[in-house]
Structure 1
Amino acid sequence: MSLHDDAVLVLKRYEDQEELRQTYLDHLAAQPAGMWKSCADGHITASALVIDPERGRVLLTLHRKMRMWLQMGGHCEPGDASLAAAALREGTEESGIDGLSLLPGGPVRLDRHLTPCAWHLDVQYAALAPAGAVAAISDESLDLRWFGYDEVAEVADESVVRLVAATRDRL
C-alpha cells in the first residue's frame, strides 16, 4: 500500500473534525503528489506530541525555522510506510528519544496551518516516552524542553494547546 493510500484510509477512519477531515480527503483526491513537500498546493504532514503521562508533561521543540514551541513533526518521506510511521520517525528524530510508542487509536487531531513552504495538512499523533527518557536537541531545533500540561498555554499557540487537551482526553 502506498503512503497516499494509507493516508486516505487513516483519514476515512478518523471520526472527528468532519469538515477538516474532508478537506484533507479532497486534497488527496485532487493531488496525487499531495503527500510530498514538492506539492506547492499543500501537503500532508505527520507529527507526534511526545508525552510523559506519569509526570504530567509534554516535550516541545523550539522550531529553528518557525521560532515557535511545537510538537515534533514534519514532512513525509518516501521511506515512510504509513502516516503513523512518519509521525513516529519525526518524533524520534526531533526528540532524540528511542523507544517512543504511539497512543493506540490513530491520530489525535488534525491541524491545517500555513508555513513558509506551503499549507501543512498535519495529522497529529501522540507518542509515549519510555520511563527515564532523555531528550537530545536535533538540528531542526533551537531548544527542546519538557513542559507540564498546564504550562503549554504559556509558551505555545492554540494548535498545540488543543493537541495537548485532545491527548489528555485520549489518555
Structure 2
Amino acid sequence: MIVDDFLTSLAALPASPARESYLSFIRAGGSDALERDGGPEHVTASCFVFSPDLERVLLCFHRKGQFWVQFGGHIEPQDSSIADAALREAREESGIAELALRSDAILDLDRHELHGGFACAAHWDVGFVAIAAADVNFAASDESEDVRWFATNALPKNVPSSFPARIAAVVNSIAGRASN
C-alpha cells in the first residue's frame, strides 16, 4: 500500500523536525493524507530537474501561484508511489517524456500554506530529483505559463521565500551522496 511504503521511506530519513511532522501527519490521516480530496491539507509530490553538473535547475512558472517552482502536483490513483507521482508530474509539466528520477530517495520535505486560487489550504510536499541534459527539449504544460533553466545560484525573483535554501540543500545532498 502506498501509504505504508511512504511511512517506511519517511522513517528512513535522518531525524528532523520536518520528518517528525510528516510522520505524525501521515499516521493521523492515513491514506486520506495522500488524497487530493482527503482534506484541506494533503501530500503532494514534486521533482527538481537539474543539469548534470547541478549548476542549473529547470523550473516552471506556476499559472495559479504566479511563481517559479519545481514540477509537481497531487498524487493520482494510478501512481504506485510518491516517487512515481513526482516523476509523472515532472514529465507532464516539463514535456520531457524520457525523464527519469535519479533515485527514489526523498530529498526535500516542504509543508507550505496556499492562498489565492488554490482550493487546498496546505501541501505537504515531498521532493525528488531528476537530471536532464542542458539541451533537452522541454515545453510548458497547461498548468504553467513558462518553463526555463536558471542557475542554481541565481534564481529568479519570484520564487517562494524558502525556495533558494531548499535548492541549495538538495544540491548539497546530491553532491554529498556523489562523493560517498
Aligned-residue sequence identity (percent) comes to 39
- Figure out how many residues of one structure are paired with residues of the other and give that number: 169
2:178 aligns with none
Q: Which runs of 5+ in 2 are unaligned?
A: 176-180
- 165 and 9 in structure 1: CA distance in 2 versus 1, 3 angstrom threshold: same
Match of 1:140 among 134, 138, 143: 143
- 67 and 141 in structure 1: CA distance in 2 versus 1, 3 angstrom threshold: same
- Secondary structure, counterpart of 1:54 in structure 2: coil
- Secondary structure, counterpart of 2:140 in structure 1: coil
| Residues 50 and 58, structure 1, Cα contact 8 Å, conserved in 2 | yes
What is the rounded CA distance, in whole Å, between the counterparts of 2:102 and 2:14 in structure 1?
16
Letter in 2 for 1:28: I
Deviation at 1:153, TM superposition (A): 5.6
2:28 aligns with 30
What is the rounded CA distance, in whole Å, between the counterparts of 1:55 and 1:109 in structure 2?
16
What is the rounded CA distance, in whole Å, between the counterparts of 1:71 and 1:99 in structure 2?
17
- 131 and 67 in structure 1: CA distance in 2 versus 1, 3 angstrom threshold: closer
- Greater displacement, 161-170 / 96-105: 96-105
Letter in 2 for 1:47: S
- Secondary structure, counterpart of 1:158 in structure 2: coil
CA distances 1:100-132 after superposition (whole Å, capped 9, x unpaired): 222336111100001231210001111111463
- Secondary structure, counterpart of 2:91 in structure 1: helix
Match of 2:162 among 150, 159, 169: 159
1:74 aligns with 73
Q: Which runs of 5+ in 1 are unaligned?
A: none
| Residues 108 and 163, structure 1, Cα contact 8 Å, conserved in 2 | no
| Residues 99 and 130, structure 1, Cα contact 8 Å, conserved in 2 | no
1:44 aligns with 43
> What TM-score, normalized to structure 1?
0.91
Which contiguous aligned blocks of 4+ residues in structure 1 show a shift greater than 3 angstroms? none
